[in-house]
Amino acid sequence: MPETTPSSLAETSGRWLGWGLVVITGLLFWPVTRWIVTEAVAREQIKQGMVLLLAATALIIWINRHDLRLALNLDNRALGLLAGAFGCVGVAGITGWSLLLLPGMTLGLAGSLHVLLGESGYRFLKPLVAGVAALMVIILIFPVLDWPLRQLAGVEAARVLSAVGLAPQLTVMSPQHDPQLILQIGTQAFRVATECNGFGIITSGALLALLAGGISRRSPWIITGLVLLALPTGFAVNLLRILIITRLAPHLPGHYLAMHEVVGTLMLWLGLGFIGWLAWRPHASVLPKTPANSTV
């Protein structure tokens, strides 16, 4: 029988401890994970962000499949991140501040990835941790921004329609309970519903900028700029969607729903495509240099 050395015993114990910490962290934050999935699936606009996050995960794994290896590394950084996650849970339990579970979830995810893949593997997955944190913020702010975004979209749509010679009217019905914003153009009335507030394309664009910028190794300043640019871009594309729908509706009376979905899908891809192109286009510093005697 081969003799078991102390170093191999320590290595085996470290692996079991690493797996144990990851499993405990997963169980501890399972309610938060379930909340994220439930809220994302319940709202189409937030579901887009979930789809982007899953697609980014698959892309990162595929691109770095030769570099991602199971490490079970218990270094100080991994233990510090997990300690911070457990601390957030403890403080939330004592004080009742359930919002502390959200940064705890982010720390727990980062710490678990550190344990499983080590620092070398974790560097590829940093954008996913940022994406999960952003998705939690998106879920929280949706109820707060729904009505203000609807108002802003309706007001700006009416302003543009007035500028091109039409006479739109914007009214609010049932202002005390479940207010409805109605955009009247001639004899046709359009309800500026929650689906028309632009929240989905605005937040999906910002999340795409965060994920694509991180995967393509952009600097933090450029990623921040891309995220900020995604906000007005998403609003402008949503406004264009509303204008196109209101102008096409009189000409397609029997196909309004189909037209509504087609225009909405095209505008979504237009906005995300623009942000994605900005985030993914090659860095000038890594492009191959043109020889001095070459002609173009």
Angle of helix 44-63 versus helix 199-215 axis, rounded to 10? 10
pLDDT at 173: 80
Contact 122, 110 (CB under 8 A): yes
Contact 199, 45 (CB under 8 A): yes
Q: What is the pTM of this model?
A: 0.84
pLDDT (tens digit per residue) in 120-148: 889 899 999 999 999 999 999 998 998 89
pLDDT at 140: 93
Measured CA to CA in angstroms, residue 144 lies from 75, 118, 151, 178, 197 at distances of: 40, 38, 13, 14, 12
Ordered by start, the domain boundaries in the chain are: 9-282
Q: Helix (H, G, I), strand (E, B), or coil: what is residue 182? A: strand
Whether 210 has a pLDDT exceeding 80, the answer reads yes
Angle of helix 44-63 versus helix 101-163 axis, rounded to 10? 120
**Residues 213, 226: Cα–Cα separation, whole Å:** 8
pLDDT (tens digit per residue) in 67-93: 888 888 888 899 999 999 999 999 999
- Mean pLDDT (the chain) is 85
